[in-house]
Amino acid sequence: MDVEVGSNLYRNTDGTIEIEGIPQIQVALKPTTGALLVNFALFDAGGKVTAKLVDSTLMINEKRAYEVNKTPKSLLLTHSASGTVILQMDVKGPDVVAFAKGEFHTIKGHVIQVTPVEWKIDKLRVSGTTHDLMGRSVVLG
């Protein structure tokens, strides 16, 4: 599966996105329908899980602070009160998933921001790269 994170293309991934050493996002396409399935752990600044998606469904939603809107080809996780986009994922083509937008804490308490042009964690910014991962995970940070 190819995964885009901002403007960066990661070819031939296993669908896992590791952020600061922790597998924080797992994406897959359902074999029979091609529907997008996302597993994701959302942390607060102290490293505590505040929300968790399992197969694109909110299983943990502390204080009902988050809302998920999904179609078979897209997923949008937002913070209900502020409207902040936490995670936006879209199927762009056969075996291609784009992580187009998002902002959330890593397990280490840093903020990762993904925009259509880059991803950044603190002062580390990456944009416009292409990598062939040969079946490995995407590693950010």
| Residue 48 confidence (pLDDT) | 94
| Residue 131 confidence (pLDDT) | 97
Output the CA torsion sign for 4, 9, 11, 15: negative
pLDDT digits (tens, 9 = 90+) for 60-77: 999 999 999 999 999 999
pLDDT digits (tens, 9 = 90+) for 19-50: 999 999 999 999 999 999 999 999 999 999 99
Round to whole Å and give the CA distance between 106 and 37: 21
Round to whole Å and give the CA distance between 70 and 44: 23
| Residue 26 confidence (pLDDT) | 98
**pTM for the whole structure:** 0.95
What percent of the chain lies above the pLDDT cut of 90? Answer: 97
- Tokens standing for residue 126: 């990456």
How distant is the alpha carbon of residue 31 from its chain centre? 20
Q: Say how many domains are in the chain.
A: 1
Task: State the average pLDDT over residues 115-140.
Answer: 97
Output the CA torsion sign for 116, 100, 16, 64: positive
Query: Domain range holding 124?
Result: 2-140
